[in-house]
Structure 1
Amino acid sequence: MTKQHAYITTAIPYVNGLPHIGHAMDYMLADVWARYARQNDREVRFQTGVDEHGNKIAAKAAENNLTPQAYVDQLYENFKKMIAELNISSTDFIRTTDAHHCEAVQYIWRQLAAGGYIYKGSYEGWYCQGCEAFVTDTEAAENNGVCPDHKTPYQRLSEENYYFKTSAFSDKIREAIESGRMKIVPEFRKKEFLALIGNGLQDVSVSRPRKNLSWGVAVPDDDSQVMYVWLDALSNYITVIGYPDRTEEWQSFWPADVQVVGKDILRFHAGIWPAMLMALDLPLPKVLLVHGFINVNGAKMSKSLGNGVGPSDIVPHYGVDAFRYYFLRHVPTQEDGDFTWEKFEAAYNGELGNDLGNLVQRVAKMVLSYQAGVIGDAPQAEHDMGPYRAAMESFNFDRALAEVWQTIRSLNQYIERVQPWQVAKKRDKDPEAEVHLSEILAYACGTLLQVADMLTPFLPQTADNIRGLFASGVVPQELAPLFPRIYIHTPDPRGAKQAS
């Protein structure tokens, strides 16, 4: 039987910034879905990549006495490194300077122009180079003429650009969203976007004069203009899987099952991107999964506050699965979340170290002590997977992990209740005790194997470690703790006990 194809994408960040926690959330959420889809026997394409064009990149390259291409060639590896560091199972990494992408984007431009969806017009208004975005007079006035994100004054521009007729698709996009043909998750983000386009979508600039934007894909048949960010960047989702020339390949995977985006770029992905697809007569993505921002101690992460946190602060000390666990469970999948070292170490030592790690060690040691490491063939555990699957299918990955922990805690309670160590003491006098003990331990091992399956999308290394202990039916002699206790940022309670 041919596997069903599945496709998930992440937004492509500008290559000139360092990878941050927002990118990590994109990658991890997509990775959870991709691994879950593979568990369900689907053939997955999983796209990541970087946006390498634009004035910001050209300016930074000049500061470093490099050509833009040489500059981006140095930087894109930062993102590939984070992807590897977080054990992300992506299959594709696109750079918008890739030759195939540039050629495909020019093809897309010609198709849009042939359909009558691109026209030349004049623009006069405000522009932020940091955002690479034009803003309305109203927005500029509300912000007192200064970009709130970059703290730099808006530039007043007057230039001739090409425009894409996004407005022609307002009603069709609204219908696609309202009907669920292109689903926006969570529901409140859908409502926000529909309110935003209440008066219809505005046409968007898709080029700038070469004198004002030198680094980018040339507009076909007009060398005086260079493609502006959105048409170039958004096209990556289809060019990376072979559009337009590798027909069988891209048609096997498009439309995307899920496109993961941060809440700050939803308007581009729910407005401009579907308009482009409609103009190209291509299907819309099935789901836009929108995640929020992560604060630190309730405050927005910022360079000026010096309160940023990322994989390099956590992974070397606690391991990649601990990083994945905190941000996938303790940051709500569809809302904003918060990080503190106190919350992180409480989750690490309490939930990973005690609830799961001690449980695994305890069961493995009992099998070694009481049954010479042989688990036996008593009936395996089969817990209700319904709530877990419902959480996964509705993109509430934090809730799915909570369901896993419910199983873990239930097993801990079961062991405390049946007390296998007491059953073991009765084996000499009670012939049924041996069978009872074997059933208890087989149930515990079977439950942990089921936990490993549920953890596979989230904590793949931990899941493999649990399977390594129990899946063969014989527990190995050497046992290493899954999550040894670590107290770097919070007091070690064991020290307090010893002191008293």
Structure 2
Amino acid sequence: ALANYITVLGYPDQPEWKDFWPADVQVIGKDILRFHAGIWPVMLLGVGLPLPKTLLVHGFVNVDGAKMSKTVGNVVDPMEIIKDYGVDAFRYYFSRHIPTKDDGDFTWEKFEKAYNGELGNDLGNLVQRVIAMIQRYQSGVIGEIPRPGHDMGPYRQAMEALDFDRAIDEAWQQVRALNQYIDDVKPWEVAKKRQKDTDAAEHLSEILSYAVGALEEIADLLTPFMPVTASTIYKMFSAGVVPEKAAPLFPKIYIHTPDPQTASSKKK
């Protein structure tokens, strides 16, 4: 079975196999590490072939602290998660909240919290508030978008080390920093000064343009993990004007907590 890694590529008859082997990174689960770190290298060396450059060994995904088992009936179907909540939400949770090189735990409560709190509130609301302010204060016109040039060193180091959970943590620091920046500079207060202060309008435009540039940098960092979301963010600001109505990136979900609207209607 191990030989399938190269025979499926055409080895030894088709030269195209050399376009794909040796693999830069071979991803395996920890339960088959012995075969891939011991037997497989011996097989390759025995026929004079190069070894994979890196082995990325991931842990198990448990559910509510227990190993997934059909017998127990706690298997989580990834396709159902993707169908109901989108591929980017799935990719985000399993990239950030499941350690890349260790065991991780999935619960619907944790998923709901990450979806609503991190994706919906931290990122989704950030995009919405920037769009809303540009619509309100600049008639939707963005202006010249700068590149803030934040330090991406820690993010790159995490990616090169294949520590994807740490890489998303670095991206999320930028999300929180931009939210904090907006709270600190208070564009709504600057907007009130435009009639009396001729510099206020320019300052406001700079603030909002900076926010757009920072969002595009965030999209850059999220592209490997959330390509659909990153592409959506780019498109929102690519035309020089923001959309009049932008659908929420991550509409609020209710899995294990009641929908307040549904709950109130039942009371009636």
Same topology, TM > 0.5: yes
Distance 1:438 1:497, change over 3 A: farther
CA contact (8 A) 1:341 1:490 kept: no
Q: Deviations over 1:104-142 (max 9, x none)?
A: xxxxxxxxxxxxxxxxxxxxxxxxxxxxxxxxxxxxxxx
In 2, Cα distance between equivalents of 1:494 and 1:404: 33
CA contact (8 A) 1:293 1:336 kept: yes
Q: How does the TM-score come out when normalised to structure 1? A: 0.51
Q: Which residue of 1 aligns with 2:14?
A: 246
Greater helix content: 2
In 2, Cα distance between equivalents of 1:242 and 1:429: 73
CA contact (8 A) 2:145 2:212 kept: no
Greater strand content: 1
In 2, Cα distance between equivalents of 1:246 and 1:419: 63
Measured after TM superposition, the shift of residue 497 of structure 1 is 9.9
Measured after TM superposition, the shift of residue 234 of structure 1 is 1.3
Q: Which residue of 1 aligns with 2:75?
A: 308
Q: Which residue of 2 aligns with 1:292?
A: 59
Structure 1 residues 55-134: aligned runs within 5 Å: none
In 2, Cα distance between equivalents of 1:413 and 1:496: 33
Q: Which residue of 1 aligns with 2:151?
A: 384
Q: Which residue of 1 aligns with 2:132?
A: 365
Measured after TM superposition, the shift of residue 380 of structure 1 is 2.5
Which of 241, 258, 265 is the aligned partner of 1:491? 258
Q: Deviations over 1:291-342 (max 9, x none)?
A: 0001111111111221111223322221111111111100000000001111
Could you tell me which runs of 5 or more consecutive residues in structure 1 were left unpaired when the two chains were aligned. Answer: 1-232
In 2, Cα distance between equivalents of 1:272 and 1:397: 28
Q: Which residue of 2 aligns with 1:470?
A: 237
Q: Counterpart of 2:28 in 1: which secondary structure?
A: strand
Q: Which residue of 2 aligns with 1:415?
A: 182
1:453 is the counterpart of 2:181: no
In 2, Cα distance between equivalents of 1:272 and 1:257: 19
Measured after TM superposition, the shift of residue 490 of structure 1 is 2.3
Q: Which residue of 2 aligns with 1:256?
A: 23
Q: How does the TM-score come out when normalised to structure 2? A: 0.94
In 2, Cα distance between equivalents of 1:429 and 1:494: 44
Measured after TM superposition, the shift of residue 446 of structure 1 is 0.5
User: Whose RCO is larger (CA < 8 A, sep 6+)?
Assistant: 2
In 1, Cα distance between equivalents of 2:43 and 2:240: 54
Measured after TM superposition, the shift of residue 372 of structure 1 is 2.0
Q: Which residue of 2 aligns with 1:274?
A: 41
CA contact (8 A) 1:349 1:486 kept: yes
Aligned residue identity for 1:390: Q
Distance 1:432 1:494, change over 3 A: farther
In 1, Cα distance between equivalents of 2:147 and 2:45: 51
Measured after TM superposition, the shift of residue 239 of structure 1 is 2.3
Measured after TM superposition, the shift of residue 492 of structure 1 is 4.2
Measured after TM superposition, the shift of residue 378 of structure 1 is 5.0
In 1, Cα distance between equivalents of 2:153 and 2:91: 23
Question: How many pairs were matched up?
Answer: 266
In 2, Cα distance between equivalents of 1:413 and 1:497: 34
Could you tell me which runs of 5 or more consecutive residues in structure 2 were left unpaired when the two chains were aligned. Answer: none
Aligned residue identity for 1:399: R
Q: Counterpart of 1:266 in 2: which secondary structure?
A: helix
How many percent of aligned residue pairs carry the same amino acid? 68
Measured after TM superposition, the shift of residue 272 of structure 1 is 1.5
1:406 is the counterpart of 2:173: yes
Measured after TM superposition, the shift of residue 253 of structure 1 is 2.9
